[in-house]
Amino acid sequence: MDLIVLKRNEEDNIMYIIEENKFETTRLSECYDKFGQKIGKENAEDYCLENSYCTELRERFLNDLQTAGFEVENKSWEDFVESDDNSIKEFVENWRDENEVYTEALAYNYWDGNNWRSVILDDDANGYSVNYEKVEQELAEQVLTAYKNVTFPDYKFGKSEVESDGFVFLKTQYPGDPFLTTVEL
């Protein structure tokens, strides 16, 4: 099990240990903000038909449909995307593959007991939604070495805390805590 050490920002003295394999590349629009709401196509800046700001793309889609011989008069783009006609479905699928661009993120989505949340390490949108970052390699090695050598006491009131090598490690049983442990300097 490969572990990584994260922190929220440079000024923060709190770090978090989590399994690296929990993260996957996904669409940023499918991740969640701090309120448990999906980031959505608009906020993720996806270039797609569902993004209400992509009116030019929608117009091009309808023009390309008309050029391909489909009747588009008095119809919206949604009519074609939701069509049951196999020839239209095939056209729409191919057109979307060639013309739409989605912002991707390296993220871990989890349920905190009340809402969906996301730990986002990297995204294609210049880090707009990144809420955690990896700590420097040297510090990460120190933290992980100390973590591997600790034995946590029994949980009391859902928490177990131990100090080792200048770090304080805190494990919880709370459903809203996605990390193996929280680390304080």
Per-residue pLDDT reduced to its tens digit, 55-105: 999 999 999 999 999 998 888 999 999 999 999 999 999 999 999 999 999
pLDDT at 105: 93
Q: Are residues 31 and 17 in the same domain?
A: yes
Q: What is the C-alpha to C-alpha distance for residues 83 and 78, in angstroms, rounded to an integer? A: 8
Q: 29 and 115 share a domain? A: yes
Asked if residue 50 is part of any domain, the answer here is: no
Rounded to two decimals, the pTM is 0.83
Question: How much is the pLDDT for 185?
Answer: 86
pLDDT tens digits for range 6-25: 998 777 789 999 999 999 99
> Given this model, what pLDDT does residue 43 score?
92
Per DSSP, the three-state class of 73 is coil
Is residue 90 located within the same domain as residue 109? no
26 is in which domain, residue-wise? 3-45+103-184
Residues 32 and 71 in one domain: no
Structure tokens at 84: 């049951």
* Tokens, residue 79: 């009519």
State in Å, rounded, how far the first CA of the chain is from the last one: 24
State the angle between helix axes of 55-67 and 86-99 in degrees (0 to 180), rounded to the nearest 10.
130
Considering its fold, how many domains does the chain have in total? Answer: 2
Return all residues near 62 (Cβ < 8 A) that are at least 6 apart.
72, 75, 77
CB atoms within 10 A of CB 95: 18
Residues 108, 95 share a domain: no
Question: What's the pLDDT at 13?
Answer: 86
Percentages of the chain per state (helix, strand, coil), in multiples of 5: 30, 30, 40
pLDDT tens digits, residue range 24-65?
Answer: 999 999 999 989 999 999 999 999 999 999 999 999 999 999
Residue 145 maps to a domain: yes
pLDDT at 129: 74
* Domain shared by 119 and 162, yes or no: yes
Residue 155 lies in a domain: yes
Is 124 in the same domain as 174? yes
Residue type, 86: N
Residues 152 and 61 in one domain: no
- Report yes or no: 179 and 16 within 8 Å, Cβ to Cβ: yes
Same domain for 79 and 159 = no
Same domain, 18 and 84: no
Indicate whether 69 and 155 sit together in one domain.
no
- Choosing from 99, 132, 164, the residue where a domain stops is 99
Q: Are 88 and 167 in the same domain?
A: no
Question: pLDDT for 103-147, tens place per residue?
Answer: 999 999 999 989 999 999 988 776 667 889 999 999 999 999 999
